[in-house]
Chains A and B, each alone.
Chain A
Amino acid sequence: MQIRRIDIENFRGIRHLSWAIPADQKFVALIGPGDSTKSTILTAIHRALTDAWNITFYDTDFFDCNIEEPIRIRVAVGGLTADLMSMDVFGLHLCGITAAGQLTHDPEDRDEPCVVVELTVEKDLEPRWTAYRPGTTGEPHPLKPSLRARFGVFRIDERIDAHLRWSRTSALGRLTEARHGTNQTLAEASRAAREAASGSVSEALTALTREIQAKLQESGSGDFRDLKPGLDLSLNYAQGNLALFEGQVPLMNFGLGSRRLAGAATQQLAYDGKALLLVDEVEHGLEPHRLVHLLTQLRRPQAYAQVFVTTHSPTALLHLDAKELTTTRSSGGITTVKRLDDPAEMQRLLRGWPEAFLARHIVIAEGKTEYGISLQLMETWDRQRAEQQKSPSSALGVVAVEGRGGNQAVKLAQLLLDAGFRITLFADSDVEDVNNKAATVAAAGADVVQWMGSLNTEQAICSELDPAGLTALIDLAIKVAEDPEVAMIAYADHLKDRGAPRIDTVLSVTSWKEAGIEIDRAQEMVAEAAHAKGWFKNVDRGRRLGAFLLSRMELEAGPLRSALAQLEAAVYAPGSTVPTDPAPIKDTIADDRSQS
């Protein structure tokens, strides 16, 4: 069982969302900047599929607080097991869903059968759950809580404590019912709770608690050794005052992370791997090692029917596959979600720069040198902006990453652009093929910053330096080398090999003129040596080079500095100038009716 499609209208920050989820996606990590409505999507799924009898809606749950436009949440659940296909469950209310995620009224043989839960809330604020089928007229079929309970949807959020008590709707309550059949056990347990002071807890419940203990160990929730049901005196109401205790300490008193893990573990037990789990901020309350362990648990194929998480944690991303990531973007109430494409390319970036996926705006620097330059420049610009009380790049959600060469960089730029990120590509311009692709990316909405003319970075720099500048550059290269003494000899050779005068003072370009080498030849030779021998080809050296570029007076008015100014403008451009891309939105939001 898994969710195959989600449509949301007028719910909180979402005026419209249509999201078709591929059949193979069992683990979905929603990533995106703040206010991209990730959590709202989880809330919408939960409200549509919950087995709660009633949910209180407020005017503020409507988009723009406009209660005239009804809230409509549709969740299509496919991969139905035989028990859900039965006529007394969903057997008479099936839709079809095409491979492209379009719904059809009847499931044709080529489509997958699914049931679509529609939750609507009109201005009377009464939620109504029905089985939606496109093109149906007349009274839709209501879906009772008992039917919705078959989805086993479970949300781990700040209200997790309720699930560590025994009550009708809690994970513990459900688990007890699943294991021992009726409400009988629960009633007995509640009775037992009253007598818990005298230690009369039923055998069934004790056995169950041992099972939970084993599961909690496995989930990494904590090292529990004496888990047992106990009376929670903090609550007055009759049901649900039986809670899970470790020794004398109620589990509610444990850390948030432990409690969240415990909730997930009991739910998994209760639904025997058939639960739909929703975890908002999966990293919440967990140390990195426990987060990693939890992710491993959640992604085990048999653990849950499907898992949706949101995350802001680079640690989490570091341990996920690119194809498990779905970006969310919200603009003017239109939420767009896109699964990341081409895992191989993305995967590398994900491992190297997980934080980039959490940004709005990614600056892709072509190589290590350019990456170092960008970092240095952004640091400097941030400092200058701070003095003027302007937001630094981090506040704008800008992250720089390294593109590993021109071809990979443009490819990455295209992929990330498609995934909904704002992209600035910072690349040199000496390879024609890369230039062409960069132009395509630019046309698709990326900011592309390249050197004027067909120059690599070293050429671009050297071509504007006078002999003193060139000398300073060589000095810098030697200074940032691993072993400057060795570098001094080696770099001299690099230069001589490229036609520099065979003199002792070869490292001082000011002395070349006497040897009959004109400035433009000198610029070419230094650039060639620096480029070919990778004098600045590492991030740290790139940073130093960046500082150098800002410090040289002779560069001030040249094309290089104007390219850097272009980069600065792109990095700090206000978000509203983000080119909206209507084409992919139209792609995702397809009208069901156009199908039939």
Chain B
Amino acid sequence: MNENLLTQARAFIAALPASVEMPAGTGKTHLLAAVVTELTALVASDEPPQKNRALVLTHTNAGVHAIRKRLDDFGARATIRVSTITSFAFELARAYPQLGGLEVPGVPNWANSASYIEAATHVSGSGHIRRVLEASFTHLLVDEYQDCTESQHEFVLRLTDAIPAAGVFGDRLQAIFGFADPLVSWSAVETAFPRFDVNWTPWRWKGHNESLGRWLVKVRGLLKAGEVFDFSAAALPDGVRFEYGSQDHRVLPRVAREVGTAEETVLILCGIAPEMVRATAKRLNGQYSAMEEIRGSYMRNQLTVLNATDPIRYGRWLADVAKNCFVGYGDLNPPVLLKLDKGLTVSHLKRDGLSETLTALDLVATKRNLESLAQAMLVLARAKEARLHSHEAWYDMLSAIRSASAVATTPEDSSLGSDSVPLLNHLDMIRNRLRHTGREDRRRIVSRTVLIKGLEYDHVIVANVDQITDACNLYVALSRARKTITVLGSRPQILITPTLTRPRRDRRSLRSCLPRQSTPTSTRSGE
């Protein structure tokens, strides 16, 4: 840990409670890790003397892993608990259903996160649990605070009743509203956690593209709702370019092919609509893999269909899903599908280059159970007779089906009755695991801004900037790149729109997502 970082960490510890706002890529998490490392090396004012114990919260499991890794690098892991806000809330709510007023199942259902947060807020308000928290932690640190919903903010405030030495880290320009609950405003954050100013350096671009890093800091002042951001007029740094491309279907595949070497990572960002991701991945012919949202809605839907499907038609289900997740299965056309509908074999049909696929479909048509279905899915993925573009979806469904079939004891049982949902349970387990282990590293990804907060890539391609015009989404999109940014759009002048912070029907939903230099709201300066 260098001297400068240490000095800054110590000053921040002395200033707690406090908040720090830092742009993307300027070492926010690094500073947090330094703060945690430094304070847990100190002895708390306990009797008998004990080291400080820190609770570190963030929003995603990817964030948890990033923080853990930095703590490891600093050699500080003992007495530190790193968790997501929701899983920490789940733990409290699960332990104390009466205090929380909510019966919480043993396995979290993350669709109910908001209720866990509310229950945990009640739990933390109890005098005894406050003692538990006091006994457990001397310091509380929260990363990515701009992503806190108002109720998560409420929960954190309750935690600070027991753990007053609290610090939060965030960047109001990276606040992307993704779910149903409104996000906390940064001025409310600074009321609870007085602003602490730090000097930052655009670390992410060191040794990659430092002029890009400096430019990204500069554009923060330009991304104001109602103003026009001009990709043609602004002095763009090396590596940032605009191309007219949203009308021409050939541009994106070309750019996608040209950008980056085989070893580098490339991110293509679609608009806000979820279905755009798979459609784009398909267009790119399997060169890029579609990122699924954490909840895995696509897989969930497909498995729900499978669950309601007569085992005779398992082959038809497989063909349909394969056509969704692969490019190059056009020959699985109505003659094939109609046979599969009736549970008939298809390998006698002449389809060039699809022999392994057809044999696999035969297996499902003859041995109508989940085990052979899983087997066939694996064959399709390995045969490479078509190009897979939805790896995550395909392998998760494969795993869920395989787990469900392994649980079933007899062949008869492995075809599901209409009222059983083990498939969905297994999928949930797999997706929950993902929350903890992080995604498999794929070099070329198609995704949306809301899914890639906090991640970084060598190259970013904005597939259609016409669909990402609000300040926060655009800033998040641009700030993911270490080396180059390619922006495709119908024209280089973008009218910056306000970022949503709450559901559209809510009239208060529009707020200008402005960097703090020009924020009109009164904020306490970090004296």
Contact = CB atoms under 8 A, between A and B. Distances in A.
Interface in B117-140: 126-129, 131-136
Interface in B82-136: 91-92, 95-99, 106, 126-129, 131-136
B134 A82 contact: yes
Interface residues of B, number: 20
B132 A94 contact: yes
Given A107-B126, A109-B127, A86 B132 contact: yes
Q: Is the interface of B mostly helix, strand, loop or mixed?
A: helix
A94 B95 CA distance: 8
A113 B91 CA distance: 18
Contacts of A106: 96-99, 126
A566 B135 CA distance: 64
A93 B94 CA distance: 10
Contact of A109 (B95, B106, B128): B128
A314 interface: no
Contacts of B132: 85-87, 91-92, 94
A84 B128 CA distance: 13
Given A87-B136, A88-B136, A138-B106, A82 B131 contact: yes
Contact of B135 (A83, A105, A109): A83
Contacts of A104: 98
A108 B98 contact: yes
A387 interface: no
Interface string A86-123: 11100111101000000011111100010000000000
B98 A82 contact: no
A84 B136 CA distance: 9
- Chain A interface category by residue count: 20 to 34
A84 B132 CA distance: 9
Q: Is the interface of A mostly helix, strand, loop or mixed?
A: loop
B132 to A, nearest CB: 4
A344 B139 CA distance: 51
B482 to A, nearest CB: 38
Contacts of A138: 106
B135 A85 contact: yes
A112 to B, nearest CB: 8
A109 B127 CA distance: 6
A139 interface: yes
Given A94-B128, A106-B99, A107-B126, A86 B106 contact: no
Contacts of A113: 128, 131
A144 B96 CA distance: 21
A88 B96 CA distance: 15
Of A86, A87, A93, which is in contact with the most chain B CB atoms at under 10 Å from its CB? Answer: A87
A114 to B, nearest CB: 10
A91 B98 contact: no
A596 to B, nearest CB: 8
Interface in A54-88: 82-88
Contacts of B98: 104-106, 108
19 contacts: A84-B135, A85-B131, A86-B132, A87-B132, A92-B92, A92-B132, A93-B95, A94-B95, A94-B132, A106-B96, A106-B97, A106-B98, A106-B99, A106-B126, A107-B99, A107-B129, A109-B127, A113-B131, A139-B106
In the A-B complex, the 10 residue pairs with the smallest Cβ-Cβ separation, listed nearest first, are: A106-B98, A91-B132, A85-B135, A92-B95, A82-B135, A87-B136, A107-B128, A86-B135, A113-B128, A86-B136
Interface of B: 46, 81, 91-92, 95-99, 106, 126-129, 131-136
Given A86-B135, A108-B99, 8 more contacts: A82-B46, A82-B131, A83-B135, A87-B133, A91-B136, A93-B95, A96-B128, A109-B128
